[in-house]
Amino acid sequence: MPHHAHTAGTSPWDALLVLALLAAAAGYALALWRNRHRSPWPVHRTVLWYAGLACAAAATSGPLAAAAATSFTAHMAGHVLLGMLAPLLLVLAAPVALVLRALPVAQARSFGRVLGGTPVRVLAHPVIALVLDAGGLWLLYGTDLFHLAHRSSAVGFAVHAHVLLAGCLLTAALVAPPPRHHLASLRVRVVVLGVFVAVHSALAKWLYAHPPTGVAPQDGRTGAQLMYYAGDVVDVALMVLLVAGWYSATRPRPVVPERSRVVPT
Amino acid sequence: MAATPASRHPDHPDLDRRTVVSGFLFGCGIAASMIDLFVFHLGLQWHHFYDLSTPQVALAADAVFHAVGWFITVWGLFLLADVRRRGEVAWRRWTGALLAGVGAFQLFDGVVDHKVLGIHQIRYGVDLLVYDVVWIGSAVLVLVAGLVVLRRTRPDRSRPVLRAVPSDG
C-alpha cells in the first residue's frame, strides 16, 4: 500500500520509544536490586513485567511494526499487543508496589503522597481512564489520525505512547494489585469494563464495514476480526480478575467472638 | 435463625437464591457467548461476523449484549464457586436454573435480536419461518423444562432455611 511513507526504526522518535522501554526494563531491575535485602519479590511479577515490555516492543519496533506500515491486520495485532495485552501484564507486575518498597522511607512517603493526591485520583478514575482509552481509539480510527500517525513518526510516537499509557491507566483503574490508593466501587468498575468491551467490539464491527481509506477490504476484515476476538480474550481475562477480586473480598470469615476461635488453616 | 434480615447480610447470603442466580446467569451467558460463537459462527457457519445490513442502533445493542454475555458467564461461575465454598451445591437445582437461563436467552435472542432489532438472522438465503419457529419453539421448551426442574427442586421451606455456615477459614 503506497499511503505509508515512513517505515519503523528510522527516526529519532522511534529511537525514543525503544529508549523508554529499555528504561522501564532497567528501572524494574534496579528496584529489584535495591529490594534484595527485603522479603523476596514474587518471581511471577517480574516475569509479567518483562513479558509486558516484550509485547510493547514487538508492537512498536521490529518485523510486526514494519509490517503494520502496509498491513492493517499487522497494525491491529500490534494494537492489541500494545493497548490491551501489554497494559494487563505491566499492571499485574505491580511496579508501583515494587518502587514503594525500593525507595528510602522519606522518598517512599512523598511518592505515596503523590499517589494519594487529587491529580492521580482524577486520572485513575475508571470513567476518566475509559474516556481517554476508548476516546483515543475512536479518534484514531474515526478521523484522519490513522494515516497521519503512519506518515509522521512524531504523531506515530504520540499515538503509540497514548495507546500504551491509556491502556495501563484503564487496566490499573479496573484490576490494580495493591497498593490501591483510589479503587472505585465494584459497581463502577463493572459498568466501566462493560462499556469498554461494548465500545471496543462495536468499533471492531464498524471497522469491518468501514476500514480506513486505502486498506484493502479483505485486509480490513481480517484486521477487524482480530481486534474483536483477540480483544475478547483480554477482556474476559479482565472480567475474571475483576470478579475474582469480589470473590476473595467476600470470602466467608469466622463470626465467633464468643466461641473459641478456630485457628485458620 | 432469624428469617429475612440475615439473608441480606453479606456474610450470610441466601445460598438457595444464589444457586439459582448462578445457574441462570451462567445459562444466559453460555447461550449468548458460546452457543452462538461455537455452534452458529464456527460450526454451522450460518452466522456471519457482521452482515453489513445491521442498523447502527442494533449494532450498539449487539455490542452491549456481547459485553453483558461474557460478564454474566464469568459472574455465574464465581457465584457457583461462592456457594460451593459456603456449603453443598444443590446441583439439580443449579442445572434447572441453567436450563431456564439458556431457554430465556435463546427466546430473547430469537424474538428481540432476530425479529425486533434485526441484528442478524438465523440463516441467510432461506425461508426463515421454519427456522424462527424451531428456534423460538426449542427456546420455550428448554425454558419450561428448566422452570419445571426448579419447581420440583424447591427447598422445603418448613425446614430451616439453608444458609451459609460460618467457615473456619
Residues from chain A that touch B164, judged by Cβ atoms under 8 A, are 252
Cβ-based contacts under 8 A for chains A and B: 81
Residues from chain A that touch B51, judged by Cβ atoms under 8 A, are none
In chain B, the number of structural domains is: 1
Judge whether B38 is closer than 8 Å to chain A, CB to CB. Answer: no
Q: What confidence category does residue B35 fall into, taking pLDDT thresholds of 50, 70 and 90?
A: confident
pLDDT by residue (tens digit) across A49-99?
999 999 999 999 889 988 988 899 999 999 999 999 999 999 999 999 999
How large is the angle between the packed helices B15-30 and B91-108, nearest 10 degrees? 40
Which residues fall within 8 angstroms of residue A197, CB to CB, at 6 or more apart?
A231, A232, A235, B63, B66, B67, B70, B71
Q: What is the phi/psi pair of residue B25, to 5°? A: -65, -45
Determine the distance in angstroms separating the CA of A35 from the nearest CA of chain B, rounded to an integer: 32
Judge whether B42 is closer than 8 Å to chain A, CB to CB. Answer: no
Whether residue B166 is contained in a domain is answered as no
Q: According to the model, what pLDDT value does residue A43 have?
A: 95
Q: Which residue has the higher pLDDT, B48 or A153?
A: A153
Nearest to A159, CA basis, from A68, A90, A73: A68
Whether residue B157 is contained in a domain is answered as no
pLDDT by residue (tens digit) across B48-87?
677 666 677 778 888 888 899 999 999 999 999 999 999 8
Determine the distance in angstroms separating the CA of B141 from the nearest CA of chain A, rounded to an integer: 30
Whether residue B129 is contained in a domain is answered as yes
Q: What is the pTM of this model?
A: 0.85
Whether residue B164 is contained in a domain is answered as no
- In whole angstroms, how far apart are CA A52 and each of A15, A83, A227, A230? 19, 11, 18, 16
Whether residue B6 is contained in a domain is answered as no
Judge whether A198 is closer than 8 Å to chain B, CB to CB. Answer: yes
DSSP string, B105-146: HHHHIIIIIIIIS-S--SSSSS-HHHHHHHHHHHHHHHHHHH
The one-letter amino acid code at A1 reads M
Q: According to the model, what pLDDT value does residue B114 have?
A: 75
Q: Which of A38-42, B45-49, B130-134, B163-167 has the lowest mean pLDDT?
A: B163-167
Q: Which of A201, A206, A254 sits opposite B168 (nearest CB)?
A: A254
User: Do residues A90 and A48 lie in contact, with contact meaning Cβ atoms separated by under 8 Å?
Assistant: yes
User: Do residues A146 and A65 lie in contact, with contact meaning Cβ atoms separated by under 8 Å?
Assistant: no
Helix segments in A145-185, DSSP class H: 145-151, 153-175
Judge whether B41 is closer than 8 Å to chain A, CB to CB. Answer: no
Which residues fall within 8 angstroms of residue A116, CB to CB, at 6 or more apart?
A181, A182
Which residues fall within 8 angstroms of residue A240, CB to CB, at 6 or more apart?
B74
Residue B22: give the domain boundaries. 14-152
- Residues linked to residue B14 through DSSP beta bridges, in sequence order: B163
- The dihedral over CA atoms of B93, B94, B99, B104, expressed in degrees to the nearest 10, equals 100
Q: What are B168's three cell numbers?
A: 473456619
- DSSP letter, residue B46: -
Cα A74 from Cα A86, distance rounded (Å)? 16
Q: According to the model, what pLDDT value does residue B121 have?
A: 74
Judge whether B61 is closer than 8 Å to chain A, CB to CB. Answer: no
The mean pLDDT of B80-100, rounded to a whole number, is 94
Whether residue B89 is contained in a domain is answered as yes
Q: According to the model, what pLDDT value does residue B122 have?
A: 73
User: Do residues B146 and B99 lie in contact, with contact meaning Cβ atoms separated by under 8 Å?
Assistant: yes
Judge whether B4 is closer than 8 Å to chain A, CB to CB. Answer: no
Cα A47 from Cα A89, distance rounded (Å)? 9
Count each helix (H run) and each strand (E run) in chain A, helices first.
13, 0
- Please, is B29 exposed, middle or buried when counting C-beta atoms within 10 Å of its C-beta (0-12, 13-18, 19+)? buried
**3-state secondary structure labels for all residues of B71-116:** HHHHHHHHHHHHHHHHCCCCHHHHHHHHHHHHHHHHHHHHHHHHHH
Determine the distance in angstroms separating the CA of A17 from the nearest CA of chain B, rounded to an integer: 33
Mean residue pLDDT of chain A comes to: 89
Whether residue B50 is contained in a domain is answered as yes
Nearest-CA residue of chain A relative to B61? A198
Residues from chain B that touch A190, judged by Cβ atoms under 8 A, are 71
Residues from chain A that touch B85, judged by Cβ atoms under 8 A, are 251-252
Q: According to the model, what pLDDT value does residue A188 have?
A: 95
The one-letter amino acid code at B126 reads V
